Structure 1
Amino acid sequence: MRLVVAGTPDVALPSLEALLASTHEVAAVVTRPDARAGRGRRAAASPVATRAREAGLPVLQPPTPRDPAFLAQLADLAPDACPVIAYGALVPPAALDVPRLGWVNLHFSLLPAWRGAAPVQRALMAGDDVTGACVFQLEQGLDTGPVYGCLTEPVGQRDTAGDLLTRLARSGARLLLDVLDAMQAGTALAVPQPAEGVSLAPKITVEEARVDWNAPAAAVDRHVRACTPEPGAWTTFRGERLKLAPVLPVDEQAPAPGRVAVDKRRVLVGTGAGAVELGHVQPAGKRAMPALDWARGARPEDEELQ
């Protein structure tokens, strides 16, 4: 089949690579416009745009998929199907109608659970034991279309959102290719999502990534892992932001919520139930460092993180 692939971040790359190596023809890639990043705030191409250019593919970067010029380009490309992997923008009806077989979306949850932009992060925050990925037919509703196929992935006790997304991106690429092969063969079957079990996964804001030390240690642990690597969990110390790498719950007598206790081997912080051991931390304007190194310099003296 002739495909136009839509995707933006690193998690879309395994699918793009699988499609480039397949018998399908990738006619072009759609990705988000270059974004300013880093200290210099220079415009940088998305990982998908960079890889597509290396492969010699046309790269379409409309400011919005509603852009008339983009819709005309898409129509000229005449794709049979448009696979989507974390593109980052809603596809309007005018674009949905262009490919002969529609748009199919690789989504990193077991639909109808965790519809939205941050399914893996929300699953981790909620304490799910199992997550997965589904390929479904894109329609106007938010991740509501009928499902062609799913796979499951157990959630490890120390998994971060980045860990899970890496594994799901790889296994999901195989699932997406299987679905597209079935669509080409005319054997693909899309099953409507059940009405029960719906949950939403809106993007995690920077403010929401702040740690609540009154929550139990297990919840704090899940929260930090869910926000790793993006947007990054944080707290404040002496009025300045302190970024946190994953922490480790400990089963012993704990200081009060937010209170810091330092010994020769580790740095503990009290929570609403139990304590956590800090891993690496990053003070404002400094590099990340082991928590003990930070504590030796900061000398928290039984102070609180807030």
Structure 2
Amino acid sequence: MRIVFAGTPAPAVLSLRAIAATDHDLVGILTRTDAPVGRKRILTPSPIAAAAAELDVPVVKADRLGEGATDAVTALRPDLGVIVAYGGLVREPLLSAPHHGWINLHFSLLPRWRGAAPVQHALIAGDRVTGASVFRLVTELDAGDVYGELRYDVPRGATAGEVLDALAAAGAELLVDVIDQIAAGTARALPQAGAVTLAPKLTIADGALDLSRPADDVLNRYRGTTPEPGAHVVFEGGRLKVLAALRGPDGDLAAGALALAGRDVLLGAGNGTSVLLKTVQPAGRPAMSAADWWRGLRTTSPRVELPAPGSAA
């Protein structure tokens, strides 16, 4: 088949390369425009754009899949459109441009966690099992019939970045299998069944750790927002990023209080639980071990700020 691929971030690259390695004809790639990266805000091509350059496949860069992108895709006469984390909606007439329509690799077991951040929301919710689904793209968000799925047991302590890497690799194989079935005329898509939950894009505010909650809830949010948008607490008016953390011992450490236990830094959480801080990054400074950060403190009773009563977690 003649395939057009749409994607933007690094987790989509494995799928792109897997398709390029098949006997199908990869005729074009859609990705978002170059974005400013780093402190100097240097315009940088997306990971998919960089991979496309290596594959020598024509690229269309667009933040909205409007008339220009639709015309470009239609001119390629695709049999199938494939989308993996593009970061934009495919609407008509582009939705119907490929002969077989579009399929989407999504990193959840649909209909659980429809939206832009399924892995992050799954970990924040404490899901022990997640997965990936390949479904037919329709106008409603992530609501199309499912061609295939895989289940994934979340390793204890795994962060969203680690789970996404694992699903990107396994999902690429699933995606190619579905493409081959569509080409052979053997593909079968089934309606989604079960309760719908939503996974909207996360913001920096979503990475705030609420230490009034028990440590397991705090760590779920830490894992779900690592590496992006980044877990943090507020300390002395600034954001202290939490880059690595584990479950600490139960005891009488107050929620939000910090204490040194041997070479470990403990952070009190709700119900007499605690979080063990391993690596942190103070505002405007490089990442460092929590023990090194502790040695530089000027207060004898350090605490992080707790959310105001009634505020969102």
Q: TM-score, normalised by structure 2?
A: 0.95
Matches of 2:275 and 2:298 in 1, distance apart? 18
Corresponding residue to 1:261 among 254, 259, 262: 259
**TM superposition shift of 1:156:** 1.0
Match of 1:149 in 2: 148
1:201-245 per-position Cα deviation (integer Å, ceiling 9, x unaligned)? 111111121110101000111110111110000111111111001
Task: Detail structure 1 runs of 4+ shifted over 6 Å in the superposition.
Answer: none
Match of 1:175 in 2: 174
**Quick check: 2:244–2:280 contact (8 Å CA) kept in 1?**
no
**Quick check: 2:4–2:27 contact (8 Å CA) kept in 1?**
yes
Q: Number of residues paired by the alignment?
A: 304
5+ long unaligned stretches in structure 1: none
Matches of 1:78 and 1:127 in 2, distance apart? 44
Matched residue SS, 1:112: coil
**Quick check: 2:15–2:168 contact (8 Å CA) kept in 1?**
yes
Establish whether residue 21 from structure 1 lines up as the match of residue 18 from structure 2.
no
Establish whether residue 105 from structure 1 lines up as the match of residue 104 from structure 2.
yes
Corresponding residue to 1:235 among 233, 236, 257: 233
Q: After TM superposition, list the pairs within 5 Å mapping 1:1-306 onto structure 2.
A: 1-66=1-66, 68-194=67-193, 196-273=194-271, 274-306=273-305
- Partner amino acid for 2:69? F
Task: Give the aligned CA root-mean-square deviation in angstroms.
Answer: 0.9
Say which is worse superposed, 296-305 or 98-107, in terms of deviation. Answer: 296-305
Matches of 2:94 and 2:145 in 1, distance apart? 18
1:16-55 per-position Cα deviation (integer Å, ceiling 9, x unaligned)? 1111111111111100111111111111100000010111
5+ long unaligned stretches in structure 2: 306-313
Percent of pairs identical after alignment?
Answer: 46
**Quick check: 1:221–1:246 contact (8 Å CA) kept in 2?**
no
Matches of 1:96 and 1:155 in 2, distance apart? 33
**TM superposition shift of 1:299:** 4.2
**TM superposition shift of 1:197:** 1.6
- Partner amino acid for 1:204? L
**TM superposition shift of 1:300:** 4.5
Change (3 A) 1:190 1:300: farther
**Quick check: 1:260–1:300 contact (8 Å CA) kept in 2?**
no
**Quick check: 2:206–2:229 contact (8 Å CA) kept in 1?**
no
**Quick check: 1:106–1:176 contact (8 Å CA) kept in 2?**
yes
- Partner amino acid for 1:92? R
